[in-house]
């Protein structure tokens, strides 16, 4: 998508991102020069089969990992070479993570889970709890603030996780297979929540998924395979189905 | 809800570091440790035992030292004891102190006239079965002059001491200690009663106040004090020994004068006994303060040793904490990954696990102080002296426990902080 003049500056700008992992004597290249741009307020999906480099790309976008080569600017700031504390700070202030397995801390109540990122942001206790309650109300769990994760259903746990991801008011919501552990109906509800957050609050949302049904709900699909971007555009049936399938044709009998 | 999500107030940046995290992290440490109550309790047990051992050992050591200094001050801090016979000099023919009487009553009178000498009490003694009516009691009999009461700084609380006149006239009067009074006369007043020592009857004219135990748990109230002349003639049978005494107890005016007085006595006795410069002393002089100081140094060393043994169990407790913290880090790898994804810097992860280790060691220490104090109180009931818990040992226990928590918590906490967030999330 070429940036038109007058567009807001990109939130994410990846140029020629290469990521190598040590593997045996040599190294394995998980990403072969990936480039992409995400503008604020976008709602997009990153698709790809396992081993495609999708998770590696997500880790780099989420500031959990740094690229071997290439340039990654987050909100205009080059973060390819940031120190560990600076990356932690970026994760804390600018990025909200949502995981497939919810990843709530089982010992803490829903409220304390949501307030946890605010602890690391140095927000005072009173404001932490007030924000946590407000966000739990926003995701429809106003009456479950004192529950522990084990007392909540999967869908409810994922709502708590989304509230937690929103706690610091992030620029980017990064969700890794957020509906993967939920039944279809609950998954659709969670997807609807992401969409509402994107439309109403203007949060940039990136869903990492292999599920075409999930990707179809977004405005833009980036399909990645073997460490390269195959498709970057609207969620057309062709894009969702994995290109023209010619990659498979090569090995078909 | 069409407005963008509000962002929280920009928190203070830089400078503050980990300080704002201390409160919430402490609360989390409490939560984490109480989530695993049994394990936390067992881990703390090592610290509890270690600290309790240190507190108890030091309390006993302090008790011994207090007892010794009390005994010394009760004896009088400026006492010299001159004993008959040479000090042990080594070799095959050494004579034990007091083995052959060489000191006389005249020696004692001459010493009493020396400068800086308050009084000199010639003293002999023996163990005897003393009898009052149908009751008898084995006790320590001291035969001396009235100067003994001055030297000992110990005067009868009921009745009186015998006088110099009575002593010279060999009056058959006796002063007894509390133990003898209790054993022979029970609740009734012993004053004016008769007491028989080796078949000779004495009238009790005074009862000494309670003095308690001496060095080594000796009951110093188990004593009968008789005039020296009376006992020389009547109890010991007189003869060649009658002018000789076993020892002379000398009180100096001040502790500072002790050394000079000791030298003056030695010179005087060598002259009086006609010893040539080649001959060795036929007496020995003991400075009780010096003896007490030596004893105190010894007991101090012993209590340090006992404390060190307790300290070893503290170290073992610390290793237990490290062990359990390593297990905890492994078990909570995923939690660590989640926290890192939520923006916890490595320093915050380290702080969290360090605080847990510290909480284990400090709580263990607090319980250990309680247990140790309780044991020390119980020990006082069984030991011949009261134990003494010094505030310094409690403060030291907390300081050492904190140091142990940090020392043994550092490695597991650092291991947690060094985890890769991606690997940790995948676990």
Q: Give the domains, in start order, of chain A with CATH numbers.
A: 41-63+84-246 (3.40.50.300)
Domain range for B188: 101-281
B47 and B108 part of one domain: no
B159 and B225 part of one domain: yes
Q: Which of B253, B281, B309 is the last residue of a domain?
A: B281
Chain B interface, best mutation among A65, A90, A107, A130, by max B CB count within 10 A: A107
B45 and B122 part of one domain: no
Give the tens place of pLDDT for each residue, B261-282.
Answer: 999 999 999 999 888 888 888 8
B241 and B375 part of one domain: no
Of A64, A119, A166, the CB nearest to B24: A119
Q: Which residue's entry shows tokens 């600076």?
A: A86
Provide the Cα torsion B239, B244, B246, B252; round to 10°: 160
B272 and B306 part of one domain: no
Confirm whether B65 is domain-assigned.
yes
pLDDT at B398: 93
Provide the Cα torsion A6, A10, A11, A17; round to 10°: 180
Between chains, do A91 and B4 touch, taking CB under 8 Å as contact?
no
Give the tens place of pLDDT for each residue, B214-261.
Answer: 656 678 899 999 998 877 765 555 554 457 888 899 998 887 888 899
The beta strand positions in B177-294, using DSSP E, are 194-197, 200-207, 223-227, 244-245, 247-252, 283-287
Residue B348 above 80 pLDDT? yes
Give the tens place of pLDDT for each residue, B28-49.
Answer: 899 889 988 999 999 999 899 9
Cα(B265)–Cα(B46) distance, rounded to whole angstroms?
58
pLDDT at B427: 80
The beta strand positions in chain A, using DSSP E, are 12-23, 26-38, 43-47, 69-74, 77-78, 95-98, 172-176, 204-209, 220-225, 228-233
Cα(B187)–Cα(B13) distance, rounded to whole angstroms?
81
pLDDT at A245: 43
Confirm whether B13 is domain-assigned.
no
Give the tens place of pLDDT for each residue, B131-144.
Answer: 998 889 999 999 89
Handedness of CA B308, B313, B319, B324 (dihedral sign): negative
Residue A37 above 90 pLDDT? yes
Q: How many percent of chain A have pLDDT more than 90?
A: 70
Q: What is the ipTM of this complex?
A: 0.91
pLDDT at B266: 92
B261 and B364 part of one domain: no
pLDDT at A2: 52
Residue A8 above 80 pLDDT? no
Confirm whether B92 is domain-assigned.
no
Confirm whether B387 is domain-assigned.
yes
Number of domains in chain B: 2
Confirm whether B90 is domain-assigned.
no
pLDDT at B128: 87
Confirm whether B75 is domain-assigned.
no
Q: Which of B249, B281, B313 is the last residue of a domain?
A: B281
Mean pLDDT computed over B16-27: 81
Q: Which of B252, B281, B310 is the last residue of a domain?
A: B281
Kindly report the CA angle at A95 between A149 and A168, in degrees rounded to 5?
70
**Are the C-beta atoms of residues B340 and A117 closer than 8 Å to each other?**
no
Specify the range with the lowest mean pLDDT, choosing from A31-45, A121-135, B67-81.
B67-81
pLDDT at B235: 53
Give the tens place of pLDDT for each residue, B85-110.
Answer: 765 444 444 444 445 678 888 899 99
Cα(A97)–Cα(A172) distance, rounded to whole angstroms?
9
Give the tens place of pLDDT for each residue, A175-234.
Answer: 999 998 899 999 999 999 999 999 988 899 999 998 898 999 999 999 999 999 999 999
Q: How many percent of chain A have pLDDT more than 70?
A: 92
Higher-scoring residue by pLDDT: A242, B59: B59
Strand pairing class (A12-23; A26-38):
antiparallel
Output the six-digit token pair for B323: 């062990």
B139 and B253 part of one domain: yes
B304 and B275 part of one domain: no
B177 and B262 part of one domain: yes
Output the six-digit token pair for A214: 């999930």
DSSP state of B217: G
Between chains, do A118 and B8 touch, taking CB under 8 Å as contact?
yes
Q: From chain A, pick out residues whose CB is under 8 angstroms from the CB of B6.
A: 169
Which residues in chain A (79-138) have CB-CB distances under 8 A to chain B? 84-85, 88-93, 97, 99, 103, 105, 107-108, 116-123, 125, 127, 131, 138
Output the six-digit token pair for B235: 């109890």
Mean pLDDT computed over A127-143: 93
Confirm whether B364 is domain-assigned.
yes
Residue B381 above 80 pLDDT? yes
B237 and B308 part of one domain: no
B127 and B266 part of one domain: yes
Element (H, E) at A46: strand A43-47
Of B8, B16, B31, the CB nearest to A169: B8
Strand pairing class (B135-144; B117-132):
antiparallel
B310 and B259 part of one domain: no
Residue B189 above 70 pLDDT? yes
**Are the C-beta atoms of residues B215 and B299 closer than 8 Å to each other?**
no
Given CB atoms, is B225 within the 8 Å cutoff of chain A?
no
Confirm whether B390 is domain-assigned.
yes
pTM of the predicted structure, to 2 decimals: 0.73
């Amino acid at each position: 998508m070429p940036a038109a003049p007058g567009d807001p500056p990109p939130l994410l700008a990846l140029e020629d991102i290469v990521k190598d992992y040590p593997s045996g004597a040599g190294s394995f290249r998980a990403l072969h020069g990936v480039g992409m741009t995400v503008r604020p307020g976008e709602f997009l999906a990153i698709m790809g089969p396992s081993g495609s480099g999708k998770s590696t790309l997500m880790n780099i976008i989420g500031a959990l990992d740094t690229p071997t080569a290439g340039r990654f600017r987050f909100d205009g700031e080059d973060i390819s070479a940031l120190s560990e504390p600076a990356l932690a700070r970026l994760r804390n202030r600018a990025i909200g993570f949502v995981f497939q397995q919810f990843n709530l801390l089982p010992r803490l109540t829903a409220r304390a889970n949501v307030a946890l990122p605010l602890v690391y942001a140095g927000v005072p206790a009173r404001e932490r709890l007030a924000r946590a309650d407000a966000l739990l109300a926003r995701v429809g769990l106003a009456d479950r603030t004192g529950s522990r994760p084990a007392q909540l259903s999967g869908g409810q746990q994922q709502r708590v996780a989304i509230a937690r991801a929103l706690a610091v008011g992030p620029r980017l919501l990064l969700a890794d297979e957020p509906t993967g552990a939920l039944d279809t109906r609950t998954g659709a509800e969670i997807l609807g929540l992401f969409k509402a957050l994107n439309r109403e609050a203007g949060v940039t949302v990136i869903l990492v998924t292999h599920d075409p049904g999930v990707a179809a709900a977004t405005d833009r699909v980036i399909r990645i395979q073997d460490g390269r971007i195959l498709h970057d555009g609207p969620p057309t049936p062709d894009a969702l189905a994995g290109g023209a399938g010619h990659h498979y044709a090569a090995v078909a009998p | 809800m069409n407005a963008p999500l509000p962002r929280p107030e920009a928190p203070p940046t830089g400078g503050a570091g980990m300080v704002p995290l201390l409160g919430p992290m402490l609360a989390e440490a409490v939560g984490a440790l109480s989530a695993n109550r049994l394990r936390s309790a067992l881990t703390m047990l090592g610290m509890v035992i270690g600290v309790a051992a240190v507190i108890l050992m030091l309390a006993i050591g302090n008790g011994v030292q207090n007892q010794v200094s009390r005994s010394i001050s009760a004896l009088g801090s400026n006492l010299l004891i001159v004993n008959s016979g040479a000090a042990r000099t080594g070799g095959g023919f050494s004579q034990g102190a007091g083995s052959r009487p060489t000191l006389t009553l005249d020696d004692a009178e001459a010493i009493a006239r020396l400068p800086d000498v308050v009084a000199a009490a010639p003293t002999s003694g023996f163990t005897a079965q003393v009898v009052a009516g149908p009751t008898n009691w084995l006790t320590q009999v001291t035969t001396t002059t009235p100067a003994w009461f001055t030297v000992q700084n110990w005067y009868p609380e009921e009745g009186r001491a015998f006088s110099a006149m009575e002593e010279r006239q060999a009056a058959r009067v006796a002063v007894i200690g509390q133990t003898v009074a209790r054993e022979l006369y029970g609740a009734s007043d012993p004053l004016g009663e008769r007491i028989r020592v080796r078949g000779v009857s004495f009238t009790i004219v005074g009862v000494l106040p309670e003095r308690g135990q001496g060095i080594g748990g000796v009951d110093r109230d188990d004593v009968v004090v008789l005039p020296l002349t009376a006992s020389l003639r009547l109890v010991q049978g007189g003869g060649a020994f009658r002018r000789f005494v076993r020892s002379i107890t000398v009180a100096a005016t001040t502790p500072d004068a002790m050394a000079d007085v000791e030298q003056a006595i030695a010179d005087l006795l060598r002259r009086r006994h006609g010893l040539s410069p080649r001959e060795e002393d036929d007496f020995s002089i003991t400075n009780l303060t010096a003896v007490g100081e030596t004893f105190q140094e010894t007991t101090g060393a012993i209590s340090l040793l006992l404390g060190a043994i307790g300290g070893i169990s503290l170290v073992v407790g610390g290793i237990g904490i490290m062990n359990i913290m390593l297990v905890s880090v492994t078990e909570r790898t995923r939690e660590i990954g989640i926290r890192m994804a939520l923006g916890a810097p490595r320093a915050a992860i380290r702080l969290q696990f360090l605080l847990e280790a510290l909480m284990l060691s400090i709580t263990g220490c607090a319980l250990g102080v309680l247990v140790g104090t309780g044991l020390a109180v119980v020990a006082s009931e069984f030991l011949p002296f009261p134990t003494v818990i010094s505030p310094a040992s409690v403060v030291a226990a907390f300081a050492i426990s904190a140091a142990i928590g940090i020392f043994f918590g550092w490695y597991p906490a650092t291991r947690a902080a060094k985890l890769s967030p991606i690997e940790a999330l995948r676990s």
